[in-house]
Amino acid sequence: MPAPKVTIRSATEHDVAALVDLGERTFRDTYGPANDAAELAAHIADSYNEAVVSGALREPNTRYVVAEGDGRIVGVAAKPVDGNGRTAGAQVTYRAPLVVAADGVSSRLATAMGIHKRDDRPMGVAVRTYFTTPRHDDDWMESWLELPVRNEHGREELLPGYGWIFGTGNGTSNVGLGILNPSRAFGQVDYRQLLKRWVAQTPEHWGFTEENQVGPIRSAALPMAFNRQPHYSRGLLLVGDSGGMVNPFNGEGIDYAYETARLAADLVDEAIVTGTAAPLARYPAVLDDEYGLYFKVARNFAKIIGQPVLMRELTRVGMRSQSLMEWVLRIMANLLRDDELGPAEAAYRSVARIARLVPDPAPA
């Protein structure tokens, strides 16, 4: 029987947790039977933890890579390299029956496995920086659903996207804006300049000035509403940004990364206990049950937020009612309560009934 073809790809910091688990299991399988259980556990705790593995990945003279065989991902490998990045030693390979892709929006693991982004899902870009400001200990996060500025003629115009301000409690506030691809300005403007124009219009006493800026303006892509599928295929399971799990309502992704990782961990545990991949095959359906309809409703909202004039009118109407804005905030933040039917839940369920009737296009 011919040996399986193995493809080698670079590993990143996002793979640390998977590498820790893989290293521990490989060491146990290799040395467990011949060693005392307590000594084995102590060695594993010292040698296979996130700090050690993360440090190894940053080692300038070693390059870690993942290995894929016969179309199914089978593990990772490390190649020692010299100061010029050239191979300088024998390759070390680790194998595993499952690899979890937690390598972010670009997800080279998923791309290498032929799991690509969906063009029919929203994509966003966020830019943010920090300012030293008296607002650092505000009790509330501030959201701007419209971004008004004055042009060179003194007339007010609306910038595309939405903004936020939230205090970190350490003397600074995180200030940023996001823009979604339904906007005509997406990919056509300098996002950093947009942020500078917006903060220049804020009150002087907030302190959002160049002198008070802490660190550069950084940007990140926001993969939304399951924009990469399938979430499990050929031994590779996607969590967080790698699977496009950012909320289109508000650009939030960290909590969805935690939540999907927990769902994935439960199914991985079940697969290990039962010795079958059947639980892993259920992962896409579990995600769809948990987030599918909500993300579907949010995709339609994303089309609205990309239109500044329309958002201004909706905001103008909504701001007249505190109750209405509270309902909208709870829907956008996914803070709906399953155990009660308040106004926000009733409003969302009405919209969701309509969205449920619209068929989803199949992944390309």
CATH class held by domain 6-117+228-281: alpha beta
Q: What is the CA radius of gyration of the chain?
A: 24
pTM > 0.75? no
User: What would the mean pLDDT of 44-48 be, rounded to a whole number?
Assistant: 79
The widest CA-to-CA distance across the chain, in whole angstroms, is 80
Q: What angle do CA 165, 139, 166 make, to 5 degrees?
A: 15
pLDDT reported for residue 91: 73
Q: Is the pLDDT of residue 357 over 60?
A: no
Are 253 and 261 a contacting pair, CB within 8 Å?
no
Domain ranges of the chain: 6-117+228-281, 123-223, 300-357
pLDDT band for position 3 (50/70/90)? very low
pLDDT band for position 1 (50/70/90)? very low
pLDDT tens digits for range 263-306: 999 999 998 888 888 888 999 999 988 888 888 877 777 666 65
**Cα 48 to chain centroid, rounded:** 26
pLDDT band for position 121 (50/70/90)? confident
Distance CA 155, CA 153 (A): 6
pLDDT tens digits for range 166-225: 888 889 999 998 887 766 767 777 888 888 888 888 888 898 989 899 988 888 888 888
pLDDT reported for residue 2: 42
pLDDT reported for residue 4: 46
pLDDT tens digits for range 59-82: 776 666 665 555 566 666 666 767
Label residue 19 exposed, middle or buried (CB < 10 Å: 0-12, 13-18, 19+): buried
- Minimum mean pLDDT range among 37-46, 68-77, 258-267, 331-340: 68-77
Over the chain, what is the mean pLDDT?
Answer: 76
| The one-letter amino acid at 328 | V
